[in-house]
Chains A and B, each alone.
Chain A
Amino acid sequence: MTEINHHIPDDVLDTYRAGTLPHAFAVVVAAHLSLCDECRARIEAADMIGGVLLNGAEGVALRAGARDRMMAALDAPPPPPLPRGSGVFPAPVMAELGGQPPKWRMLGGGIRQQILSADREGSLRLLYIPPGRAVPEHGHRGMELTLVLQGSFSDSEGAFHRGDVEAAHDAIDHQPIAGAGAPCICLAATDAPLRFHALVPRLLQPIFRI
């Protein structure tokens, strides 16, 4: 595993653990967890508390025959395995891609994207940014969670490499620039459409859905 310097914020990880994080963000968290042993350990640590509480809980008797039914059920075939990761895309991203490579849409300036899901709670997409290219400057309404899958980008918050995740809130008005080397591929979840200052007039945003 590569060294990861930017992790999932505590509150986001707690919401993921509780199962209430909207889908788009949950995929970013799951993809980060696939690459980050440290955040995985944070979840395991919390589950260890759950385990201690479970062990200490007073049990409630099961209905008659529950144990026999259980033992009989063990012979059923196991469920199919979850999809595996492929290339730079960890398993939860491959699941969103339906097991296929991305189908990029050109956005201009060499930038490409594929929208993976979009609903009222948030949208999720893959972005492809050529080396040295700036992602058009944008501010946010709400929250954005961006995970680097390949290459790197830098902005006022620092440099982000594979596995690093940037959490941007309302106030941040940043201009990420893709690093040299491999094109930067990111997985980005937002809970509101981005407001671009340049490149794509605001009126066109609903058409491009960015």
Chain B
Amino acid sequence: MTEPVPEALSELTRDLLEVRDRRNREAFGRLFDHFAPRLKAMMLRGGLRDGTAEDVVQDVMLAVWHKAWQFDPHRADAAGWVYAIARNRRIDMARRRPLAQPEEMPELESLEPDAAQILALRQEAGHLAEALSRLAPDQAEALRAAYFDDLPHSRISEMTGLPLGTIKSRIRLGLDRLRHELRKIAP
């Protein structure tokens, strides 16, 4: 695996790549220190009791360790990727049978890391964080409810009205467009 241009990567993404490519335990420890308390907060908000929440956090972080080979910094930043694992883990606890999952992405051995793409994704995350920070408190709370408590989207839009939907679709369109560009460069 070629060395990605480091400044394009957030520290978290760099650590996740260290885990992916070199099974680096120190890097994993840093990811744990960052994500585990936040994941615990997410699980507690989702209604789990303290002990269960800690167990789930361990499950999620262990999955981060084992699934790291699937991480592709052109498609996701570390936080979004970890969030997706946590979301799926929580879903499967609530379902009678696990949610059907798409085919795992093939390993990306031949794909050269492209700093421009990775940087674009990171900038997108930055814009997103900025947009979220400008939300009114009740809207921000509704958004957290949607992503941390898993309220159905219909209820979210009832609670918030237009701005939330506008942001969501803007981000969605922005990222879709980005991905289209990526595919032209690296099909």
Contact = CB atoms under 8 A, between A and B. Distances in A.
B41 A47 contact: no
Contacts of B102: 30-31, 33-34, 40, 90-92
A116 B144 CA distance: 37
Contacts of A62: 36-37, 40, 54, 57
Contacts of A96: 100
Contacts of B101: 30, 82, 91-92
Interface stretch (B1-9, B109-117, B121-129): B121-129
A157 interface: no
A18 B132 contact: no
Interface string A64-103: 0011011101101011011011000011100110000000
A56 interface: yes
Given A66-B54, A70-B58, A60 B153 contact: no
Nearest to B143: A53
A2 B180 CA distance: 14
A55 B79 contact: yes
Contacts of B79: 48, 51-52, 54-55
A52 B132 CA distance: 9
Instruction: State the majority secondary structure of interface residues on B.
Output: helix
A46 interface: yes
A8 B143 CA distance: 23
A30 to B, nearest CB: 4
Nearest to A77: B66
Contacts of B100: 23, 26-27, 29-31, 92, 95-96
B99 interface: yes
Contacts of A53: 83, 132, 143-144, 147-148
A19 B32 contact: no
Nearest to A16: B99
Nearest to B169: A10
A60 B37 contact: yes
B108 interface: no
B115 to A, nearest CB: 19
Contacts of B128: 48-49, 52
A49 B148 CA distance: 11
B29 A67 contact: yes
A26 B58 CA distance: 26
A44 interface: yes
B138 interface: no
Nearest to A34: B103
A42 B36 contact: no
A29 B92 CA distance: 16
Contact of B147 (A26, A40, A49): A49
Nearest to B178: A41
A50 interface: yes
A146 to B, nearest CB: 16
A17 interface: yes
A70 B179 contact: no
Most buried by A among B77, B88, B92, B94: B77
B47 interface: no
20 contacts: A16-B99, A17-B87, A18-B91, A18-B152, A34-B103, A44-B80, A46-B172, A47-B87, A48-B128, A48-B171, A49-B132, A49-B143, A49-B168, A49-B171, A50-B80, A50-B147, A51-B125, A58-B41, A70-B62, A82-B101
The 4 closest A-B pairs by CB, nearest first: A59-B37, A19-B91, A51-B80, A51-B79
Given A41-B175, A51-B79, 13 more contacts: A18-B91, A18-B150, A19-B91, A26-B100, A27-B100, A49-B168, A50-B87, A53-B132, A69-B58, A70-B36, A70-B61, A90-B102, A92-B101
